[in-house]
């Protein structure tokens, strides 16, 4: 969970935070407009939930875990680089993601599956 107001203060105070945490595709909506702080906070919550689902963040790069919307608008991760390597080394075959933001909070839930 991420407090939207607190996250918004953080990105206002540290302008370089958004490009460090989010890939260009995460910073804008499909119509080209910038994402709201609530939407960015939800994506940050998703990345933190992924780290927790994997057990740690050793050598993770924020831009190696990109929150993407599929053709139907459902959120999913695109894993590359260090994060993809950790997933492969741990036998993780599927990652399920749910994100939401409402009432000043952004939350995310991640389930990482491995083959039996």
Domains of the chain (ranges; CATH) run 2-114 (3.90.470.20)
CA dist., res. 71 & res. 73, Å (int): 6
Residue in 107, 109, 110, 111 with CA at minimum distance from that of residue 2: 107
Confidence of residue 4 (pLDDT cuts 50, 70, 90): very high
**Considering the entire predicted model, what is its pTM?**
0.93
In this predicted structure, the answer to whether residue 52 has a pLDDT above a threshold of 80 is yes
Q: For 17-26, 53-62, 88-97, 99-108, which range has the lowest pLDDT when averaged over its residues? A: 53-62
% of the chain residues with pLDDT over 90: 84
Q: Do residues 94 and 115 make contact, with C-beta atoms less than 8 angstroms apart?
A: no
In this predicted structure, the answer to whether residue 58 has a pLDDT above a threshold of 80 is no
């Amino acid at each position: 969970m991420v407090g939207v107001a607190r996250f918004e203060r953080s990105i206002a105070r540290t302008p370089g935070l958004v490009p460090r945490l989010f890939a260009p595709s995460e910073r804008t909506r499909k119509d080209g407009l910038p994402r709201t702080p609530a939407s960015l906070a939800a994506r940050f919550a998703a990345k933190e939930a992924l780290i927790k689902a994997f057990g740690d963040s050793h050598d993770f790069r924020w831009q190696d875990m990109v929150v993407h919307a599929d053709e139907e608008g459902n959120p999913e991760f695109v894993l590359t680089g260090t994060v993809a390597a950790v997933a492969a080394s741990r036998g993780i075959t599927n990652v399920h993601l749910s994100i939401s933001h409402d009432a000043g909070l952004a939350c995310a839930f991640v389930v990482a599956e491995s083959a039996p």
